């Protein structure tokens, strides 16, 4: 990736366009043609793009967890998988999940329908973004109302559990999304059991203390159109997710980077794998033993990238804090708070450009 730099003076001055005037970056790109300079309001913080920040040598050691081993009834196979899972959580806060049992053709249908959704005319995409508890939201960038720099992404977000909400267009999308969201929930449940065991807890500890069976699931479909100047902009800034575990899949086009030992690592997933990211609430329930992972999305100038991201969290009305058994020998690092209130914290923290976890961290 090229180092970020100011735009050479021979190039035309980039326009200043505020994302509040752009309802879709895809539509904006299509209206401009794909070689015009991007608006200066999309120039992300440039030092993030420095080559030195990206460590490709780490990419070879990205942990891979075999889900079939985790679900195995053979005690040794299961114990070894739990051990590897704990290691991935403590060393990386993220891993690739293979043999998860989610059919490849379901993911293909999901990607096809997701593309069709983003191709719909604006007026058919239902509702704008009216806040985190709105069941279905469509929007652009990251947090356009407050951010100083905008991001090269359009998104659909729907709350798919405990109630299933999803757009009715294009036809068949709801059904595919429902099937996918259910399967992701059951894979997540099994992963949470394994993670509990890896912490030396009973397998149902995290599930019970978060009331996961009534847990909140947020289904996000991100579209990143090709960007004529990908070295100047980002699809999503560095952030961590709000739930327990996020499961992410993409349309074969890379762009996700995770932060590891202070460097950005490109995540090049294996075919038909799920990318699993530890989120804020997992750091809380594990009392900081497993940290959430910072991640971001970079861009390219050739292909449209789509990522489907399911954030699986606790029940909204459950008060969440470190698992009680972990506090028998250690001090709590976080105070307990209702998950619903954590959402509000997250909004306020974004306004103040702070980490939401810092709001509940104890000294
Ligand atoms: O598209 C990606 O790879 C990252 C998406 C993401 O981080 C998110 O939706 O929160």
Mutate to test the pocket of ligand 1, among 129, 157, 222 (most ligand atoms within 8 A of CB): 222
Residue 5 has pLDDT above 50, yes or no: no
Q: Whose CA is nearest to atom 10 of ligand 1?
A: 241
Q: Measure the CA–CA gap between 212 and 246, rounded to whole angstroms.
A: 14
Within 13 Å, how many C-alpha atoms sit on residue 185's CB side? 22
Confidence of residue 4 (pLDDT cuts 50, 70, 90): very low
What separation in Å is there between the alpha carbon of 311 and the centre of ligand 1?
Answer: 10
Confidence of residue 347 (pLDDT cuts 50, 70, 90): confident
User: Is 309's C-beta closer than 6 angstroms to any atom of ligand 1?
Assistant: yes
User: Whole-model pTM?
Assistant: 0.92
**134 Cα distance to chain centroid:** 18
Q: Where are the alpha helices (DSSP H) in the chain?
A: 25-32, 67-70, 75-91, 104-119, 173-198, 205-209, 280-285, 339-352
pLDDT of the residue at 215: 98
Confidence of residue 76 (pLDDT cuts 50, 70, 90): very high
Confidence of residue 304 (pLDDT cuts 50, 70, 90): very high
Q: Measure the CA–CA gap between 133 and 159, rounded to whole angstroms.
A: 8
pLDDT of the residue at 268: 87
pLDDT of the residue at 210: 98
Residue 255 has pLDDT above 90, yes or no: yes
pLDDT of the residue at 246: 98
Residue 349 has pLDDT above 90, yes or no: no
Residues 259-282: tens digit of each pLDDT = 999 899 999 888 999 999 999 999
Residue 1 has pLDDT above 50, yes or no: no
User: Is 114's C-beta closer than 6 angstroms to any atom of ligand 1?
Assistant: no
What separation in Å is there between the alpha carbon of 347 and the centre of ligand 1?
Answer: 17
pLDDT of the residue at 353: 57
User: Is 100's C-beta closer than 6 angstroms to any atom of ligand 1?
Assistant: no
pLDDT of the residue at 10: 46
What separation in Å is there between the alpha carbon of 78 and the centre of ligand 1?
Answer: 30
Residue range 181-186: mean pLDDT, rounded: 98
User: Is 249's C-beta closer than 6 angstroms to any atom of ligand 1?
Assistant: no
Domains within the chain, CATH numbers bracketed: 22-359 (2.60.120.330)
Strand pairing category for 64-66 and 94-98: parallel
Confidence of residue 2 (pLDDT cuts 50, 70, 90): very low
Q: Measure the CA–CA gap between 117 and 221, rounded to whole angstroms.
A: 9
- Buried-exposed string 189-218: b where 16+ CB fall within 10 A, e elsewhere: bbbbbbbbbbbebeeebbbebbbbeebbbb
Q: Whose CA is nearest to atom 1 of ligand 1?
A: 307
Please state the atom number of ligand 1 nearest to the C-alpha of residue 220: 9
Share of the chain above pLDDT 70, in %: 88
pLDDT of the residue at 20: 57
What separation in Å is there between the alpha carbon of 332 and the centre of ligand 1?
Answer: 30
When comparing pLDDT for 53 and 322, which is higher? 322
Q: Which two tokens stand for residue 162?
A: 């405990």
- Cα angle: 306, vertex 311, 312; to 5 degrees: 145
Residue 57 has pLDDT above 80, yes or no: no
User: Is 255's C-beta closer than 6 angstroms to any atom of ligand 1?
Assistant: yes
Residue 190 has pLDDT above 60, yes or no: yes
Q: How would DSSP label each residue in 16-72?
A: ---GGG-S-HHHHHHHH-TTSPPPGGG---GGGG-GGGB-GGGGGG--EEEHHHHT-
User: Is 236's C-beta closer than 6 angstroms to any atom of ligand 1?
Assistant: yes
User: Is 307's C-beta closer than 6 angstroms to any atom of ligand 1?
Assistant: yes
CB of 247 closer than 8 Å to CB of 182: no
Please state the atom number of ligand 1 nearest to the C-alpha of residue 309: 9
């Amino acid at each position: 990736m090229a180092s970020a730099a100011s735009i050479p003076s021979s190039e035309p001055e980039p326009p200043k366009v505020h994302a509040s005037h752009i309802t879709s970056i895809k539509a904006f790109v299509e209206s401009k043609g794909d070689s015009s300079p991007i608006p200066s309001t999309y120039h992300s913080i440039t030092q993030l793009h420095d080559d030195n920040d990206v460590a490709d040598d780490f990419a070879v050691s990205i942990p891979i967890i075999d889900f079939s081993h985790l679900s195995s009834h053979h005690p040794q196979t299961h114990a070894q998988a739990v051990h590897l899972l704990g290691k991935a959580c403590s060393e990386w806060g993220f891993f690739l999940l293979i043999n998860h049992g989610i059919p490849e053709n379901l993911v293909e249908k999901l990607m096809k329908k997701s593309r069709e959704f983003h191709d719909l005319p604006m007026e058919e995409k239902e509702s704008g973004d009216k806040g985190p508890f709105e069941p279905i939201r469509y929007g652009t960038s990251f947090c356009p109302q407050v951010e100083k720099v905008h991001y090269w992404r359009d998104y659909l977000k729907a709350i798919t559990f405990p109630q299933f909400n999803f757009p009715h267009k294009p036809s068949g999308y709801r059904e595919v999304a429902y099937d996918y969201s259910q399967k992701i929930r059951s894979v997540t449940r099994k992963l949470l059991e394994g993670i509990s065991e890896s912490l030396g807890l009973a397998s149902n500890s995290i599930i019970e203390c978060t009331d996961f069976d009534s847990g909140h699931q947020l289904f996000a479909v991100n579209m990143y159109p090709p960007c004529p100047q990908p070295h100047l902009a980002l699809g999503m800034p560095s952030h961590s997710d709000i739930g327990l575990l996020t499961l992410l899949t993409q349309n074969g086009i890379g762009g996700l980077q995770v932060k590891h030992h202070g460097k950005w690592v490109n995540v090049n997933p294996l075919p038909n794998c799920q990318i699993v990211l530890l989120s804020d609430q997992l750091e809380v329930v594990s009392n900081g033993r497993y940290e959430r992972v910072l991640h971001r999305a970079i861009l390219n100038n050739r292909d449209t990238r789509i990522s489907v991201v399911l954030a699986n969290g606790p029940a909204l009305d459950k008060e969440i804090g470190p698992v009680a058994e972990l506090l028998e020998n250690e001090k709590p690092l976080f105070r307990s708070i209702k998950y619903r209130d954590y959402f509000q914290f997250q909004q306020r923290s974004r306004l103040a450009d702070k980490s939401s976890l810092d709001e509940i961290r104890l000294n």
